Chains A and B, each alone.
Chain A
Amino acid sequence: MKLDIGKYVESGVEWLSANASGFFDAITTGIDAIVSAMQTVFLASPFWLTIIFFAVLSYYLPARGRLFTKEGWKAGGGISIFTVLGLLLLYFMGYWEETMQTIALILASALLALVMGIPLGIYAARNDRAETIIRPVLDFMQTMPAFVYLIPAIILFSVGNVPGVVATIVFALPPAVRLTNLGIRNVPADVVEASRAFGSTKRQLLFKVQLPLAMPTILAGVNQVIMLSLSMVVIASMVGASGLGQAVYKGILQADIGLGFEAGLGIVVLAIILDRITQNLGLEGVKTKE
């Protein structure tokens, strides 16, 4: 006897597609609106303004609190120069539009993954039973080869940016949940106890103590989410997502070494810029105001 799990999954997806199409259409419309809005913003603004924006951001984040000092320059200067040069390179290679599409796609996916992942991580941190359920689900999401998501994604969300974003979210969501959970659970027990002893409610405990102290870990999760989103751009392009991934995919299909390399180089540059910018989010034990 053969246990045909694949068949069950298939009929499940088909059932969803037949009976819950309204729901999936709504999601499609929503995600599409977000991605289009972001793409519009990045494509409509002149390239030099975008470059300046990223250059300033890549300088400001690592150099916070010592902006115009030598140490500030040491921390953020290199990345800032790299950002300017890298983006100029992409512009003059003629990949500006693809780059902007990719950035919009990554940011939309990462944003959605964080919006879902962080609250889920908070929930998992405060509820042991929830954690034991969520954990294997996350393992499943992360280890199942990403290509596999594409098939149901096409059936449920048709082709284009949306199934790409959905597959990216599935792949990039786990670190947001895991690191939020970890960050909150790692807040020293005596600090939590102290907060309770002074009569804080669960909400006060969360917002005044746990989240601020977990913030560096959560921000490391943000960095992970963005990097994993980026790693999905080529795979997502197989279901029609636009951007640099599309160019790489075209390069593969047409055995075009030059096209593949150029677009791949673009992804690398983008990866370095995004990584360095977000890597520094959680540094310097964030000092929060009351």
Chain B
Amino acid sequence: MGDIHVKNLNVIFGKRKKEALRLLNQGESKASILEKTGCTVGVYDANLEIKQGEIFVVMGLSGSGKSTLLRCFNRLIDPTSGSIVLDDKDIVQCNEAELREIRRKKMTMVFQHFGLLPHRTVSSNVGFGLEIQGIDYETRRKKAYETIETVGLKGYEEQMTGQLSGGMQQRVGLARALATDPEVLLMDEAFSALDPLIRNNMQDELILLQEKVNKTILFITHDLDEALKLGDRIAIMKDGKIVQIDTPENILTNPADDYVKAFVENVDRGEIITAGSIMFENPASIRIDHDGPKVALRKMRKVGVTSLPVVDNKNNFLGFVKDEEMAYMEENNLDKISEYMHSKEEVRAVNPDTPVADLLPLFLDNIYNIAVIDNDKKLIGVVVHSSVIGEMIGTNREKVVQLKEEGGLAL
């Protein structure tokens, strides 16, 4: 229920669609198809699996075909070929009556410029979808009032929509889409027309709302930050093609091509990249009952660090030891590491899904690396200062070397 499968979806605009499709399948480029047939390729061979209850974001610049793709789902634009299957039914093959039924009951839409009826009140706008279904006035009014409360507009029910601010109008748009209790919500650049601050609020609220309503949401945006914030998964589109479908973090860490890479370069990575992705996995560690200062020093020298995490024999994280103290112990023939270990009162450990931005404050007044532990307190990795700094400035290793050569004063 609620999963959507999109297969080989093509949208071609123009008169000679069949010919254009044939050329497209032969691998001709968009430009040469336009030249030969006068047809524009809107979406080319889109394949998606959208899961029930996820926020799936399609991101791309204007002209990338993202809005066209979205409009195929409720057939405001008819795809040229391919299928979109929801609940075992191919929407592309639906006749008009079936399509109307889908639009009324299963799939609603939120628009960039709201698309509200200016001659009607808020509650009448919210009840519009139910009105179209022929539901009686009292029922739809009741449902409209409930939904208006859900989106935080209680008290504005009988205002005319033209009197509301942009953010409030879009809440009305959202309420209208939710009022029919659809399975799928299509959101076309829903927050793009709003002021940055309001947009941020609306994004937060959409996330909260989604926890309550748990719809399948297909969200279109040209704003990568928005995509990364909202998306459980993101599809990036370019020139009508989907170039990458992945989680926000994978998009940032493993961009599929240069286009995506160029996109993600300027993103505020701190909120998205997590400790888990920048940690050194299976780090060298000291076993508390097993290793003495000598072993500790040798391990440190080997990996070139000044501190190492300490674990018990079940790999539970206990604390850190430092090289100078190990050296002191060795000189004085002491062998109880636990006495010189900096334990959990002093050091901090984090979960792998802690965002990098939250790691930064932990490094203040903390000369140790940060241990990454799983839910059972087992040590799974170590995050070092330089990785965090590198992530925050969003550079790879070669670039760091280059920056080092150019920055600072030569001695």
Question: Chain A: residues with CB nearer than 8 A to chain B?
Answer: 188, 190-191, 193-201, 204, 208-209, 212-213, 285-288, 290
In angstroms, how far is the closest chain A Cβ from the Cβ of B54?
21
Query: A196-B103, A204-B132 given. 8 additional CB < 8 A pairs?
Result: A190-B111, A191-B115, A191-B117, A195-B115, A197-B108, A208-B117, A208-B131, A285-B118
Interface hub of B113, B117, B129, B131 (most chain A Cβ within 10 A): B117
Looking at the complex, which one of B102, B114, B119, B128 makes contact with A285 (CB distance below 8 Å)? B119
CB distance from B73 to the nearest CB of A (A): 10
Chain A residues with CB below 8 A from B114, complex form: 190
- If A190-B114, A199-B132, A199-B133 touch, whether A290 touches B120 (CB-CB below 8 Å) is yes
A42 to B134, CA, bound (A): 43
Whether B104 contacts A198 by the Cβ 8 Å rule is: yes
Which residues in B have their C-beta under 8 angstroms from that of A290? 120, 124, 131, 137
Determine if B119 and A212 form an interchain contact, defined as CB atoms under 8 angstroms apart: yes
Q: Which residues of A contact B160 (CB under 8 A)?
A: 287
Q: What are 19 inter-chain pairs, A to B, with CB distance below 8 A? A: A188-B113, A190-B113, A193-B76, A193-B111, A195-B132, A196-B103, A197-B103, A197-B186, A198-B108, A199-B102, A199-B103, A199-B133, A200-B132, A204-B132, A208-B132, A285-B118, A285-B162, A290-B120, A290-B131
Complex CA–CA separation, A213 to B176 (angstroms): 19
Complex interface: chain A residues within 8 A of B147 (CB): none
> Closest approach, in angstroms, between the C-beta of A150 and any C-beta of chain B?
42
* B100 interface residue (CB < 8 Å to A): yes
Q: Is the CB of A198 within 8 A of B117?
A: no
Say yes or no for B28: interface residue by CB 8 A criterion.
no
Contacts from B to A (Cβ < 8 Å): 74, 76, 99-105, 108-109, 111-120, 124, 128-129, 131-133, 137, 160, 162, 176, 180, 186
Q: Specify which chain B residues have a CB less than 8 angstroms from the CB of A200 in the assembled complex.
A: 132
Contacts of A287 in B (CB 8 A): 119, 160
B115-A199 in contact (CB<8A):
no
Distance in Å from the Cβ of A130 to the closest Cβ of chain B?
Answer: 21
Rounded to whole angstroms, the CA-CA distance of A195 and B132 in the bound complex is 9
Complex-state Cα separation, A4 to B382, whole angstroms: 99
Could you say which of B99, B115, B116, B129 contacts A193, with CB atoms under 8 Å apart? Answer: B115
Please, which residue of chain B has its CB at the minimum distance from the CB of A205?
B132
Query: Chain B contacts of A194 at CB under 8 A?
Result: 109, 111, 115-116
Question: What's the nearest-Cβ distance from chain B to residue A51, in Å?
Answer: 34
Do A209 and B133 touch across chains, with their CB atoms under 8 A apart? no
Q: Which residue of A lies closest to B180 (CB)?
A: A198
Interface of B is mostly: mixed
* Cβ-defined contact, A198 with B129, below 8 A: yes
Contact B76–A199 (Cβ < 8 Å): no
**Smallest Cβ-Cβ distance to B108: which chain A residue:** A198
Give bound CA distance, A195 to B131, whole Å. Answer: 11
Within the complex, the shortest CB–CB distance from A289 to chain B, in Å, comes to 9
* The residue from B76, B112, B186 contacting A196, defined by CB atoms under 8 A apart: B76
Contact B132 A197 (CB under 8 A): no
Complex alpha-carbon distance, A190 and B117, angstroms? 10
Contact across chains for A191 and B116 when beta carbons are under 8 A apart: yes
A191's closest neighbor in chain B, by CB? B115
Q: Which residue of B lies closest to A200 (CB)?
A: B132
CA distance A190 to B120 in the complex (A): 16
- B100 and A288 form a contact (CB under 8 A): no
Q: Which of B113, B124, B160 has the most CB of A within 10 A?
A: B113
CB-defined contacts of B131 to chain A, threshold 8 Å: 208, 290
**A212–B131 alpha-carbon span in the complex (Å):** 16
Which A residues touch B115, using CB under 8 A?
188, 190-191, 193-195
Whole-angstrom distance between the Cβ of A201 and the nearest chain B Cβ: 7
Smallest CB-CB separation from A290: which chain B residue? B124
What is the minimal beta-carbon distance from B6 to any residue of chain A, in angstroms?
Answer: 18
**B75 vs chain A, min Cβ distance (A):** 9
Residues in chain A near residue B133, CB distance under 8 A: 199
Count chain A CB atoms within 10 A of each CB in B101, B132, B176 and give the residue with the most: B132
Chain B, residue nearest A215 (CB) = B119
Report the bound CA distance from A193 to B113 in whole Å: 11
Measured CB to CB, the closest approach of chain B to A213, in angstroms, equals 6
In this complex, what residue of A is CB-closest to B162?
A285
Please pick, from B113, B129, B137, B176, the residue contacting A199 in the complex, using a CB distance under 8 A. Answer: B129
Chain A residues whose CB sits within 8 angstroms of the CB of B103 once the complex forms: 196-199
- In the assembled complex, the Cα of A20 lies from the Cα of B120 at a distance in Å of 49
Give every chain B residue within 8 A of A212 (Cβ-Cβ).
117, 119
Question: Which residues of A have CB within 8 Å of B101?
Answer: 199
Partner of B128, one of A193, A198, A213, A288: A198
Residues of A within 8 A of B104 (CB): 198-199
CB distance from A239 to the nearest CB of B (A): 43
Which A residues lie within 8 Å of B128 (CB)? 195, 198, 208
Could you say which residues of chain A place their CB within 8 Å of the CB of B117?
Answer: 191, 208-209, 212-213
A285 neighbours in B (Cβ, 8 Å):
118-119, 162
Distance of A213 Cα from B112 Cα, bound (Å): 20
What residue of chain A has the Cβ atom nearest to residue B102's Cβ? A199
Query: Do B119 and A288 have beta carbons less than 8 Å apart?
Result: yes
B100 touches A197 (CB 8 A): no
Report the nearest B residue to A288, measured CB to CB.
Answer: B119
Q: How far is the CA of A212 from the CA of B108 in the complex (A)?
A: 23
Chain A nearest CB from B349 CB (Å) reads: 49
Cα-based distance from A285 to B103 in the complex (angstroms): 29
* Cα distance, A282 to B180, chains bound together (Å): 33
Interface centre among A193, A194, A290 (most CB of B within 10 A): A194
Would you give the shortest CB distance from A25 to chain B, in whole angstroms?
A: 44
**Please, which residues of chain A bring their CB within 8 A of the CB of B120?**
288, 290
Cα distance, A194 to B180, chains bound together (Å) = 14
- Chain B: CB-nearest residue to A286: B119
Cβ contact within 8 Å between A198 and B132: yes
Contact of B118 among A193, A201, A208, A213 (CB under 8 A): A213
A213 touches B116 (CB 8 A): no
Report the bound CA distance from A242 to B9 in whole Å.
68
CB of B9 to closest CB in A, whole Å? 18
CA distance A195 to B76 in the complex (A): 11
Chain A contacts of B105 at CB under 8 A?
A: 199
> In the complex, what distance in Å separates the CA atom of A48 from the CA atom of B118?
41
Within the complex, the shortest CB–CB distance from B120 to chain A, in Å, comes to: 7
Docked pose: A195 CA to B111 CA in angstroms: 11
